[in-house]
Amino acid sequence: MSNTTASDKPTYLVEQVNANYGFFLRVEPPVYQGRTQFQDIEVFDTPMFGRVLRLDNVFQTSDRDEFFYHENMCHVPAIAHPCPRRALVIGGGDGGAAEELLKHSTMEQVVVAELDPGVVDAAKQYLGGIHRGVFDDLRLDMRIMDGKAYIETTQDRFDQIVIDLTDASGPSLALYTREFYSACRRVLGASGVLSLHVESPVAHPGTFNRIIKTLQAVFGIVRPYLVYVPTYGTLWGMACASDRVDPLACSAVEVDTRITARGLHDLQYYNGDTHRAVFVQPNFVRALLEINVPPFTSEDLVSSEVIPTEERGKLVLKQT
């Protein structure tokens, strides 16, 4: 006779990546669960990825794989810039992007504009493995505000903007439009550079292509790049956009030289070779980007590929 009880059975959380596939993670009982006026916030411990953050049923980051995302999102554009001193993060309330940006010895200030104070509070209390104490860094200016409204009205100027948002669905879509990118361009300095995630060319190819086309409608230089992010369940797209800064202009040797000169440390992914490698496009991505599609605009915010967050994570994983 088995002594196994229902409470002994492992618990799995399922996330739908698109309408036809997804993935699951085994989790321990929740460390934290809460609801803000904007979203559900959950923190779990997992055998695979350590502590993970989940917003509205969607995994955002974890102790053990955050570097896939944050290092590539932040250092690829920052190293390409000759001397970044001021950076702005839209979103990024977990502190991971700010922590990477402040590794650069040239960086004098990082402003984080996060809409939901609940994310910041949860991160401070439970996600030290991701932010690594960055909230105590005097160069960090943490602001609880609407990042879109800030970009559209501020007179501040930045060398680098990192758009660290949830997926391109629902209200977030308004920050993936030609109008919003034009506002970002105004806020960037003469040699400023923007970076953001642009969905997956595997799971959301149409959305990936439209975001790139939207960036190209605003900026003179747009460089898509690809990174596999384990807690996103697939190959993921990112992009740099600028009128002057071209990350492909940097050789691997030059990147490694700048890494050393700026005192970057504790890098688990990023180096001169990976800086170049992430821009290599498989043939299917090249073919996808050759398809002509209209940019996202404030009048055209439809993205049928990306499942609304309220519908994700509700599936039941049947065990046999």
Q: Is residue 73 within 8 Å of residue 164, measured between CB atoms? A: yes
| Sign for the pseudo-dihedral over CA of 303, 306, 309, 310 | positive
d(CA 50, CA 246): 35
What are residue 91's DSSP bridge partners?
164
| Sign for the pseudo-dihedral over CA of 25, 29, 31, 34 | positive
H helices present in 7-116, as ranges: 66-80, 96-101
Give catalytic status of residue 56 as yes or no. Answer: no
Longest dimension (CA), the chain: 73
Nearest in space to 22 (alpha carbons), one of 200, 171, 198: 200
Q: Which helix (H) or strand (E) holds 124?
A: helix 117-126
Q: Which entry of 8, 164, 243, 246 is annotated as an active-site residue? A: 164
Distance of CA 138 to the CA centre of its chain: 23
Nearest in space to 21 (alpha carbons), one of 234, 310, 285: 234
d(CA 267, CA 249): 22
d(CA 13, CA 15): 7
Half-sphere exposure of residue 88: CA atoms within 13 angstroms, side-chain side = 25
d(CA 316, CA 292): 38
First to last CA, the chain: 19
Q: Is residue 216 within 8 Å of residue 233, measured between CB atoms? A: no
| Residues with active-site annotation | 164
